[in-house]
Amino acid sequence: MIMEISDRKKVTIVGLARSGKSAGKLALSDGFDVMISDAADTDKLRTRAEEFIDTDAVIELGQHSEKIYESDMIIVSPGVPLNIPILNEAKRRGIPVISEIEFAFRHEQGKVIAVTGSNGKSTTATLIAKIFSDAGINTILAGNIGNPYSENVVRSTPESITVLELSSFQLEALDTFHPFVAVLLNLSPDHLDRYETVEEYYEAKFHIFDNQRENDYAVLFADQPEVASLSGEIFSKPLWFSSVQRKIPGAYVQQGIIYRDDEKIMPASQIGIPGPHNLANALSAVAATIPFDIPAETLRRTLENFTGIEHRLERFLEHNGILFVNDSKSTNPDSLKFALISFDRPIVLIAGGYDKGSDFSPLREIFEDKVKTAVFTGTTGEYMANQLAKNIITCAVISDFDKAVERAVSLALPGDVVLLSPGCPSYDAFDNFEERGKYFKKLIRQIVGVKDE
């Protein structure tokens, strides 16, 4: 049984990435004796460690020492697998091991809406936060979106709403975390470099419902059997979303109109984010508002004006008739598929990155139909080319990211779209997808001769 925060004396945070750094600062503010331990030792980690120079925190880099076992509690950053030896031994010794999300949640004063799924998390979480903000509610957006929960939870109040984007990693090592509204968007194979089976990955996603109570809500995708079948296994109240014509408790489309329960909201064609996948994301956001008093007019206005987020099908530049799109958030095969079906113009694709064991072969037919030219890069470049591009005449494998982008631009003609949609994480060359996306946009502007913003 995990004791309350006030009973703790010494805490160790494993991992000094953004979440770990924020958890360390929150633990210091709680009065803990804090140690932060990271097995890596890089210039970026040393820079982060310098932020703790004026505190009593102990920082160790390049190792996980046995000092960890002196802790009353261990907080694990999401990038750290729970089965590493130091954590297995800590659990054997009876030391509680919790996630950064669990630790931050114990400081939460308001209601939490949590969003997970294999694809669409960032877009949906951002859209939900925008809806509540537009309704005049104090809203916090945090989690996997790039804003650590531990850093932002201190702004919560009894009247606030916290919207969390949560990855499968962040849904591990929970104990008391229970969102008032939990949204599961969809499921598709992912992160098979960390999970032994697809089922194990799905099970990690299902943890979002574990601690919900009968007065909480679960928002589920009625159109995907793997998600819809969960309704009999959760204790909270189910709400549904569906992009096919059906009348269900939740949000759905009937004769081209979006409904919230029996309330007509707006024509589906008028939402600001394009593509069938984004219609499903918008519907899930509508369903998530049902337990709250959000006026239909606010929903309409936000859904019309919301055009997406940075790094997700971001149309950031059109130059000499060529559209340039940054979809760096595309980190798995399904997100690449959604990107390809979102354009009716010829696609010059830049894809590839860190290898996490994904299978791209199911995309071959749609790839051959939509892609005019492909440039593959990163550690998965040759593998993706072999799986996807055997029938595409113009195809290149260039491991260097800069040279790959330069080649793609040189092959594009007026009317084309140059699309960065890697289908893979960024860790082979960048710290995260945000860094990759920002660098891509800067590089494109340099290549075409447009001033950087």
Q: Are 128 and 118 in contact (CB under 8 A)?
A: no
Shared domain check, 195 and 121: yes
Contact 278, 126 (CB under 8 A): no
Claim to verify: residue 131 and residue 279 sit in the same structural domain = yes
Nearest to 140 by CA among 116, 103, 165: 165
Same domain, 263 and 410: no
Query: Cα-flanking dihedrals φ and ψ of residue 282, to 5°?
Result: -65, -40
Q: Residue 423 gets which letter from DSSP? A: S
pLDDT of 231 over the 90 cut: no
Of the listed ranges 178-182, 199-203, 318-322, 350-354, the least confidently predicted one is 199-203
CB 213 within 8 A of CB 236: yes
Contact indicator for 401, 311 with CB cutoff of 8 Å: no
Do residues 295 and 280 share a domain?
yes
The verdict on 337 and 299 lying in the same domain is: no
Q: What is the CATH number of the domain that holds 294?
A: 3.40.1190.10
* Residue pLDDT, tens place only, 126-162: 999 999 999 999 999 999 988 999 999 999 999 999 9
Per the domain annotation, does 2 fall within a domain? no
Q: Distance between CA 212 and CA 229 in Å, rounded?
A: 17
Predicted pLDDT at 6: 47
b (16+ CB within 10 A) / e for 210-240: ebbeeebbbbbbbbbeebbebeeebebbbbb
Q: Which pLDDT band holds residue 9 (cuts at 50, 70, 90)?
A: confident
- Which residue reads 């992160």 in tokens? 191
- Give strand pairing partners of 15: none
Q: Quickly state the pLDDT bin for 8 (edges 50, 70, 90).
A: low
pLDDT tens string 20-79: 999 999 999 999 999 999 999 999 999 999 999 999 999 999 999 999 999 999 999 998
Q: What does the pLDDT average to over 409-433? A: 94
Could you write out the three-class secondary structure of 56-72? Answer: CCEEEECCCCHHHHHCC
Asked whether residue 4 carries a pLDDT value surpassing 60, the answer given is no
**Could you tell me if residue 135 is inside a domain?**
yes
Two structure tokens written together for 395: 């195809």
Does one domain contain both 334 and 229? Answer: no
Tens digits of residue pLDDT in 274-318 = 888 899 999 999 999 999 999 999 999 999 999 888 998 999 999
Tell me the pLDDT tens digit for each residue of 86-124. Answer: 999 999 999 999 999 999 999 999 999 999 998 899 999
**pTM of structure:** 0.85
Query: What pLDDT is recorded for position 441?
Result: 97
Query: What pLDDT was estimated at residue 2?
Result: 40
Examine the fold and report which residue of 95, 115, 137 is the final residue of a domain before the chain moves on: 95
> What pLDDT, in 10s, does the model give residues 363-387?
999 999 999 999 999 999 999 999 9
Domain of residue 343, residue span: 314-448
> Structurally, how many domains does the chain consist of?
3
> Concatenated DSSP letters for 92-125?
HTT--EEEHHHHHHTT--SEEEEEE-SS-HHHHH
Residue 1 lies in a domain: no
91 and 109 share a domain?
Answer: no
* Same domain flag for 39 and 135: no
- Domain endpoint, select from 305, 331, 347: 305
Q: Please tell me the distance from the alpha carbon of residue 178 to that of residue 162, in angstroms, as a whole number.
A: 12
Report how far residue 445's alpha carbon sits from residue 453's, in angstroms, rounded to the nearest whole number: 9
Query: Is 188 within a domain?
Result: yes
**pLDDT of the residue at 453:** 60
The reported pLDDT for the residue numbered 419 is 98
Q: Is residue 24 part of a domain?
A: yes
pLDDT at residue 7, as a whole number: 56
Residue 36 belongs to some domain of the structure: yes
**Within this chain, do residues 129 and 214 fall inside the same structural domain, yes or no?**
yes
Share of the chain above pLDDT 90, in %: 81
Same domain? For 229 and 358 the reply is: no
Give the chain's mean pLDDT: 93
- Per-residue pLDDT tens for 30-40? 999 999 999 99
Query: Same domain for 268 and 223?
Result: yes
What per-residue confidence (pLDDT) applies to 393?
62
Residue 59 belongs to domain with CATH number: 3.40.50.720
Flag whether pLDDT at 445 surpasses 60: yes
Domain C-terminal end among 66, 95, 124: 95
Q: Is residue 453 part of a domain?
A: no
Q: For residue 404, give both structure tokens.
A: 């790959």
Asked whether the predicted pLDDT for residue 1 surpasses 50, the reply is: no
* Residue 3, pLDDT above cutoff 70: no
pLDDT tens readout for residues 244-278:
878 889 999 999 999 999 999 999 999 998 888 89
* HEC readout, 261-297: CCEEEEEHHHCCCCCHHHHHHHHHHHHHCCCCCCCHH
What's the CATH number where 404 sits? Answer: 3.90.190.20
First-to-last alpha carbon distance for the chain, in angstroms, is 52
CA-to-CA distance for 444 and 426, rounded, in angstroms? 18
Whole-number pLDDT of residue 130:
98
Q: Which residues contact 196 (CB under 8 A, 6 or more apart)?
A: none
* Domain co-membership, 246 together with 122: yes
Which tens digits make up the pLDDT trace of 191-201? 777 878 988 98
Assess if residue 326 is contained within a domain: yes
